Chains A and B, each alone.
Chain A
Amino acid sequence: MTVLINADSRIMVQGITGKRGRFHALQMLKNGSQLVGGTSPGKGGEWCFEGRIPIFDTVRECVQSTNADVSVIFVPPHATADAILEAIDSGIKTIISITGSIPLQDMMTVKSALKDSDAVLVGPNSPGVLIPGIANAGIFPNNIAVRGNVGVVSRSGTLCYEVLDCLTQAGIGVSAAVGLGDDPIIGIDFQSCLELFEADPHTDQIVIVGGPGGDSEIKAANYIMNQVTKPVIALIVGENLASSLLRIFSDNRGNHYSEALKNKTKNLLEAGVLIAKKIDDIPPLINR
């Protein structure tokens, strides 16, 4: 694998007959991603997309029949933790949860299970992983990015689209884009993703897009300082917002963003990262 997925990845969709799962599975087929199967409990044995893609009752059967190694999850939030655990136990290596708003304690169960496994979880509430022109394991809009040497990792899905769109407009190509997911508790973080980009021969420079809440960008800054040799550019949104406003945003979700205003930008600057103040600042900072 290069960055989580590659041209040989065999992608399956959990929840392939639901409205979203079906729509985006079809997009994957259309954009040339290697979709091999899907699950929909009770519909095992049926086919979708004019007999092109087999449906299974369980992930186990899908893996046995299709050798799927990447799963993209579209099941409803209350069933998502179960779907992730099923994927882990069936030997899926890269699990991508598009579904978000997963109950906090369900995700704690998942995090505990991930510790004992070599599976990697991207998300929940992630747009997926995109290798432009090769595979779109998720819901990235078609043609949003072109092939190139810039790795992009973002906590927010929509900001990831914004950045990709901006790079494409500027004629800059992307090696891989990863949406970490907007939920309070997520699988891989900035640091793990930086490790993958650092090791990826197709990536020469890295863009990270962070936001309020959590320590993930600060951990990433420490890691960049000591372990990352490739140039890194960072955009941290929300730092200009007063803490009272951030509190308003965070309360409804029951999250605690008290640490939100830790100076992430300052830490990243000290680690030698180039800081973009807004999205349009990113292209000029990229080495062509």
Chain B
Amino acid sequence: MKLHEYQAKSILKKAGIPLPISHLAGNAGQVKRISNEIGYPVVLKAQTLEAGRGHAGGVRIVHNESEIETVSNEIFKLVLNQQPIQFILVEKAFTFYKEYYLGIISDLDEGTPVLRISEAGGATFLEADSFKDALTVDKVIDINRGLNDYQIRESLVDMGIAPTYWKQFQVIARKLYEVYRQNDASLVEINSLVLTELDQLYALDVKISIDTQSLYRQEAFFDALDPSYFGWEEREAMKYDLDYHSLPGEIGCMVNGMGLAYLTMEQLLTINAMPAAMIDIRGGATSSSISSAFEMLLANQNVKVIIINIFGGMTQSDETSQGILQALDKSSIKKPVFIRLEGTDGSIGLDLLHKNEKLSFFGNTEALVNAAISWLRGDEQ
């Protein structure tokens, strides 16, 4: 779960990492007042979790008061991937002569944190190619030993960074790792970390992602979840330990496990169909979480038809069936439901459901998906 830039910066500031002065503004008047306070030139940065902010004109330098309102209004009018801009971060502009990347990233294959220092200044961890072309040093961290000073030193030596700057880098790297650990982050990166004319390091841009699986012990972040990024369905789903994915189609899918989600998706795509929502109820879902998932599909206006594809191991099919029946009882909305239910106690689950005449049953993913889509297309004609 990505945090907004202003959220990430406030965490790093509290940790004592040097950052330019910045304040958050919700309208053009606030932008102007803050800019006049901190002094020009300022950088106005649209607060969005979508990619391509800079390219869309969401980051602008303003040199004096006369342009400030026009520019901030232009930024507030931007819409990135259908998401409006609600806040601008107003920041003191800096001149610098050298930029670096400094991050604590997670190597999921090896299961370790990694300290990365690179000359790929503005890149982000996700842009793997940027690091291939730039001098980059990775240090694997044993989480049980922590980030050792010698590891930072070795990285700085390998980067060819002069000893006069070591202390500043060391302090920032250590603090970055503390932030990573204390917040259950999956990623904490400064991109870029710049060296000013006065030979001081400042964190100009930062990114923090929090591990969603740790949210139960990082409650502050759960409240900080951006509603524009996570719709109410996603937030609601997290409460029930469901994975909810909004998509631009018309089919509501409920599956157990990512594998089955991919398989169902692929089958839909082969016949040019697209889900409106894909809910992964995950292993061991209870009848009440399944009922909530099913209610979300019934309530979602984009969903015209519902597909349930469950092969239960941990998920007992009697639980699944009870959950579906509970939701059908509660809701006044009627939508056609296509079901494929196999696995642990599959027949018991099916016996429960067979009593309901509104449901259709299938033996495998392909037959299930094809039947739902031909109903949908037949209905449209």
Contacts and interface: CB of A to CB of B under 8 A. Distances in A.
Interface of A: 20, 23-24, 27, 77-78, 98, 100-105, 107-113, 125, 127, 138-142, 144, 154-162, 165, 182, 184-185, 189, 209, 211-216, 219, 237-238, 240-241, 245, 248-249, 251-256, 258-259, 279-280
Interface residues of B, number: 63
A20 B265 contact: no
A98 B217 CA distance: 21
A20 B143 contact: no
Contact of B211 (A105, A113, A241): A105
Interface of B: 1-2, 106, 108-113, 125-128, 142-144, 181, 184, 186-187, 209-214, 216-217, 234, 241, 243-247, 255-263, 265-266, 269-270, 278, 282-284, 311-314, 316, 342-344, 346, 365-366
From DSSP, what is the main secondary structure of chain B's interface residues? mixed
In this complex, the member of A213, A215, A241, A251 whose beta carbon has the largest number of chain B beta carbons within 10 angstroms is: A251
List 10 A-B pairs, minimum CB-CB distance, nearest first: A156-B259, A111-B111, A159-B259, A158-B257, A103-B214, A139-B313, A238-B262, A158-B260, A104-B211, A108-B143
Nearest to A161: B311
Contacts, number: 177
A240 B262 CA distance: 9
B79 to A, nearest CB: 18
A178 B316 CA distance: 20
Given A154-B259, A253-B212, A127 B112 contact: no
14 contacts: A104-B186, A104-B211, A107-B111, A108-B111, A108-B113, A142-B344, A156-B257, A156-B258, A182-B257, A249-B261, A251-B1, A252-B234, A254-B213, A279-B263
Contact of B282 (A24, A101, A160, A279): A101
B344 A141 contact: yes
Contacts of A182: 257-259
Contacts of A216: 109
Given A156-B259, A214-B108, A256-B108, A105 B214 contact: yes
Contact of B314 (A109, A127, A254, A279): A127
A253 B243 contact: yes
A160 B186 CA distance: 28
Given A103-B214, A161-B313, A254 B143 contact: no
A100 B284 CA distance: 10
Nearest to A78: B216
Contacts of A215: 109
A100 B282 contact: yes
Which of B214, B269, B270, B316 has the most chain A CB atoms inside 10 A of its CB? B214
Contacts of A238: 262, 265-266
A91 B291 CA distance: 41
Nearest to B186: A254
> Which of the listed residues A23, A104, A182, A237 has the most CB atoms from chain B within 10 Å of its own CB?
A104
Given A104-B106, A105-B181, A111-B110, A256 B187 contact: yes
